Copies of this chain bind each other. A is one copy, B any other.
């Protein structure tokens, strides 16, 4: 058996999320189906983490084990020929048997995109739409509140397992004005469920002057799962990169 690390991009618009589940289609299921067609038996894949329904990935990472003999560069072609076009394998490479896509990830980057171009139908599945003009420099200022290591209980699903650690470190949170959107860039050691979307919507509210920097500081310090009632639209969210030691 050889372990492989794979990088996959997907347009999440038509999926119920990464993880296999009843009653909805998932990215994981599609990839496992393609691997099963190749192997004639079930091949389980393990991702760096889940993404929610309608969330996209530029470079999600997963690993799997196989004893199939496939030439360098042929895994991608074989899998892509079996996968739906909105899921594209970018790269498959042999790794050490100890490599683990989830446990070995040391940091991740997520981007969140917001557009004012509300009448543009082509952005519907790819950005969060916002009617208001946002005060970007105030959003930049408020973003600094989240930098560093914090208990992010206030900015995650209130259904999260209470035994899981809520302490995470955000190393970068940039608010960048681009031609047709505002891009929020998050980098950190890990992110709790809904954390990026909840922080994103909080910053959008600040950009509309409906929240102050002081309000946001208080929300974070409360460490209360009911403190933040904001959550941005999933279609604005992209898993951009997963970083591993020694890369």
Which residues on A are within 8 Å of B, measured CB to CB? 9-11, 56, 80, 85-90, 119-122, 124, 126
Distance from A10 Cβ to chain B, minimum over Cβ atoms (Å): 6
Contact B122 A11 (CB under 8 A): yes
> A89 contacts which chain B residues (CB < 8 A)?
119
When the two chains form their complex, are residues B119 and A126 in contact, meaning their CB atoms are under 8 A apart?
no
CA distance A86 to B121 in the complex (A): 5
Residues of chain B within 8 A (CB-CB) of A85 are 121, 124
A56 engages B122 (CB within 8 Å): yes
Between A and B, 21 residue pairs with Cβ closer than 8 Å are A9-B119, A9-B120, A9-B121, A9-B122, A10-B121, A11-B121, A11-B122, A11-B124, A56-B122, A80-B119, A85-B121, A85-B124, A86-B121, A86-B124, A87-B121, A88-B119, A88-B120, A88-B121, A89-B119, A90-B119, A122-B126
Please give, as numbers and ranges, the residues of chain B lying within 8 Å of A56 by CB-CB distance: 122
The residue in chain B whose Cβ has the minimal distance to the Cβ of A58 is B122
